[in-house]
Structure 1
Amino acid sequence: MTIHVETLIRSLGKAYPDLVKTGLITYQTKPQGAPGSPVISLDLAKEGVFLSFAREGQVLKEVTLRIQNSKAKNWVFPNELPSPLEEKMSRDWVHETLSEPDKILPPKVVAGLSFGMTERYSLEGFHIPITLQIRYDENEMVEKLTFLPTSELRW
């Protein structure tokens, strides 16, 4: 299934049933989460997209794109990225294209797992204020892109 990523990002704040009704999400599986958790999610693994919803009202809170996938050999992100983003992006390329980030979290090791740097950017031109978080791998290549309403940001 092809997902129109930019339309999905522009749907932040909309309810899951509306996304299904418009055909943006065609999966039969509904978002799920741990009992009592305020968040439910839908992992569209083959499409490289992870969606997070508020349990109450099933409102879309986050869109995460897996640009790299360590579990799949020869992984190529299967959907068109919004301009000016590309399939392979280095940290230098991101800085040249998007300018300097608003904030940076340095690389870290948690419970023996290594995490690359994370940067935060404010995006303009959307229906609500949106923040882009970019996570890099140890080689400073983009691993994940997360789009979320700035009001949901917790740093």
Structure 2
Amino acid sequence: MTVNIEALICSLEKPWQAIRDAGIITYKTPPQGTQCDPYLTLEMKKEGLFLTFDNDANKSLSEIVLKLKTEKKDWVFPNELPSPLQQNMSRRWVHETFGDPDKSNPPKVVLKMEIGWIERFTVEDFHIPLTMCVYYDMGEMVEAVTFLPTSRLRW
């Protein structure tokens, strides 16, 4: 199953049921979490997506993570990326395309785990103010991209 990523991004802040009724997500399994969790999650491994919803009556979509690289060596992100995003993006390409980031965290090693650059960009021309966070590996290639409403940003 493929997911229309651009339609999913336009669904930020919309309730789970409305997104499902529109056919953007066809999973029958609702987002999961416990009563005391502030957020519910839905991991769509085969689609390379990790979605976060508010844990309230509406279950509004609050965050979208596109996993462009996984532990699987030959894995390819199965969905069409919204323009100008590409399957393989270097840090240099991201800067040439989106300009300098609003904020960034340099790479580091924590408990023998390597964490590459993390950069935050403002995305224009969407129905709500939107922020894009780009996560890199130590080779400065994009591993994941997160989209979230700027109002929910915590940096």
TM-score grouping bracket, smaller chain normalisation: over 0.9
TM-score, normalising length: structure 1:
0.96
Q: How does 1:65-104 map to 2 (within 5 A)?
A: 65-70=66-71, 72-104=72-104
Q: How many residues align?
A: 154
Matching residue of 1:15: 15
Matching residue of 1:62: 63
2: CA distance between counterparts of 1:59 and 1:114?
A: 33
Question: SS at the partner of 2:50?
Answer: strand
Instruction: State the Cα deviation string for residues 109-132 of structure 1 (Å, max 9, x = none).
Output: 233321111000001101100000
Question: SS at the partner of 2:73?
Answer: coil
Matching residue of 2:154: 154
Matching residue of 2:110: 110
Question: SS at the partner of 1:95?
Answer: helix
Segments of structure 1 that go 5 or more residues without pairing to the other structure are: none
1: CA distance between counterparts of 2:68 and 2:34?
A: 26
Question: SS at the partner of 1:88?
Answer: coil
CA RMSD, 1 decimal: 0.9
Amino-acid identity (%)? 51
TM-score, normalising length: structure 2:
0.96
Deviation at 1:33, TM superposition (A): 1.4
2: CA distance between counterparts of 1:69 and 1:134?
A: 15
